[in-house]
Structure 1
Amino acid sequence: MAAFIIGAEVAFWLFIGLGLAVRYLLKMPRTSVFVLLLVPLIDVVLLVVAVAHMRQGATADLTHALAALYLGFSIVFGHAMIRWADQRVAHRFAGGPPPKKGPKYGMARAKDEWIFAVKTLVAWGLAMGIVYLMVWLVGDAEVTGSLVASVSWAAKIPGICAIIALTYTIWPKTPKTPAQEAEAAEEASGLQRRPKSELSSIERVNSGL
């Protein structure tokens, strides 16, 4: 089953790359849409394989649970991942605008972090729903006994994301002032001018010398 997980991950990015190559290198946008629409089907196929494997008597383990997690997170984040890759390929090969960067500071950054946390929660919830569907399809409690527990641990993911969002809300990140930027530039310049023999071992590592 682990081989199918690895194969699905490779196929996921392979189809994204193929779809973007068809769009920007072969100049076939309509065909590229068809290729990119096949990307979510990879996770569906993986789920079918996992269910079939358990119906044949294989005891559920983490690899079967990953099939549910992959599909849940693909539903929520798949479009954004394809858009992320599309913007960079368009900029590199088709003269498109530079990829947009999210906000770095203030409550705008906190808002972005909360949106991401909510999305991870939705993805995890979908994965749990898919797990219960798998349990029902297999119909053997002895085989699927650990399946729900294997996915339940993933609740830590939205939990960690929520903690990160909370820290950005309580302690909003602020940009450096011109004085701070000048001080940092001066320190970096001074470090570069110092002879290598005068640098401490830690400074040598940090400066890449």
Structure 2
Amino acid sequence: MILVVIIACEIGFWVLIIAGLMVRYLLGKRRAGLVLLALTPLVDLILLTATVLDLRAGATATFVHGLAAVYLGISIAYGHRMIDWADARFAHRFGGGPRPTRHYGTRYAQECWKDVVRTIIAVLIAAGFLQLLTVLVDDAARTEALTGFYPILGIVFVVDLLWAVSYTIWPRKQPLTA
């Protein structure tokens, strides 16, 4: 059941973003578009509530419950950035805004390091949610699958850190234009 909720939340997240941007740029209603964009945290609240209720109702935690924690961490830490990314593209395509720029060299490395900070936040949120679920259920046998996610969170952080280090040492080069 939780997998279905995660999928529905991911779809709901993007539906709210696309609807908000369409209302903002295609219908010209900036405030109404902003309201739709501001509703995206409700998706996280729905997933959080569904996961807690499922485990409190006696379900044994599975990989999917841990995945819900990771989803929440990423959504909270990266959600604003994802919305900004989509907004820049919509503004360019439908609102007469400037073409979104790609970063190269030092600027790209700086953006990678900002992502490392976001990833740390995402990992901490996910780990906190895993711990919260473990405490709420208060049954080690039923929450064993959740503790298996801590190494995964560590791997996610290390991969992102190595990505930033690699682009700091070997900066992304701007392609040659004809």
TM-score by length of 1: 0.77
Structure 2 counterparts to residues 73-92 of structure 1, below 5 A: 73-92=74-93
Alignment check: 8 A CA contact 1:65 1:151 kept: no
Unpaired runs of at least 5, structure 2: none
Q: Cα–Cα, structure 1 residues 66 and 93, in superposed 2: closer, same or farther, change >3 Å?
A: same
1:151 Cα shift? Answer: 4.4
Mapped partners of 1:157, 1:74: distance in 2: 15
- Alpha-carbon contact 2:9-2:44 (below 8 Å) kept: yes
Q: Corresponding residue for 2:143?
A: 144
* Structure 1 position 174, deviation (Å): 4.4
Query: RMSD of the TM alignment (CA)?
Result: 2.0
Provide closer, same or farther for how the CA distance between residues 98 and 130 of structure 1 changes in structure 2, counting only shifts above 3 A. Answer: same
Give the Å deviation of 1:50: 0.9
| Structure 1 residue aligned with 2:97 | 96
Indicate conservation of the 8 Å contact 2:66/2:145, yes or no.
no
Checking the alignment, whether the CA contact within 8 Å between 1:43 and 1:67 is kept in structure 2 is no
Q: CA deviation at 1:108?
A: 2.9
Over 3 Å counting, the alpha-carbon distance change for 1:133 and 1:165 in structure 2 is same
**Inter-partner Cα distance in structure 2 for 1:78 and 1:133:** 22
> Distance in 2 between the 1:116 and 1:44 partners?
24
The secondary structure found in structure 2 opposite 1:141 is coil
1:34 aligns with 2:32: no
Q: How many residues align?
A: 177
Q: For residue 157 of structure 1, what is the amino acid of its counterpart? A: V
Unaligned runs of 5+ in 1: 186-209
- Kept in 2: contact 1:61–1:150 (CA 8 A): no
Q: Compute the displacement of 1:86 (Å).
A: 0.8
- Which residue number corresponds to residue 118 of structure 1? 117
Which range moves more in the overlay, 19-28 or 132-141? 132-141
**Superposed displacement of residue 66, structure 1:** 1.6
Which structure would you say has the larger RCO, counting Cα contacts within 8 Å and 6 or more residues apart? 2
How far apart are the structure 2 equivalents of 1:66 and 1:6? Answer: 11
Native 8 Å contact 1:60 1:143 kept in 2: yes
**Residue 140 of structure 1: how far off its partner (Å):** 2.7
Looking at structure 2, the residues matched to 93 and 175 of structure 1 have their Cα atoms a distance apart, in angstroms, of 27
Shift of 1:49: 0.5
Q: Write the letter of the residue equivalent to 1:117.
A: V
Moved more, 135-144 or 67-76: 135-144
> Are 1:65 and 2:76 counterparts?
no
Alignment CA distance shift 1:175-1:88 (3 Å): closer
Structure whose alpha-carbon radius of gyration is higher: 1
Percent identity between the two aligned chains: 41
Q: Secondary structure at the match of 1:146?
A: helix
Distance 1:5 1:97 in 2: 34
User: What is the aligned partner in structure 2 of residue 15 from structure 1?
Assistant: 16
Matched, 1:162 2:169: no
Contact 1:121 1:155 (8 Å CA) reproduced = no
Deviation at 1:146, TM superposition (A): 1.9
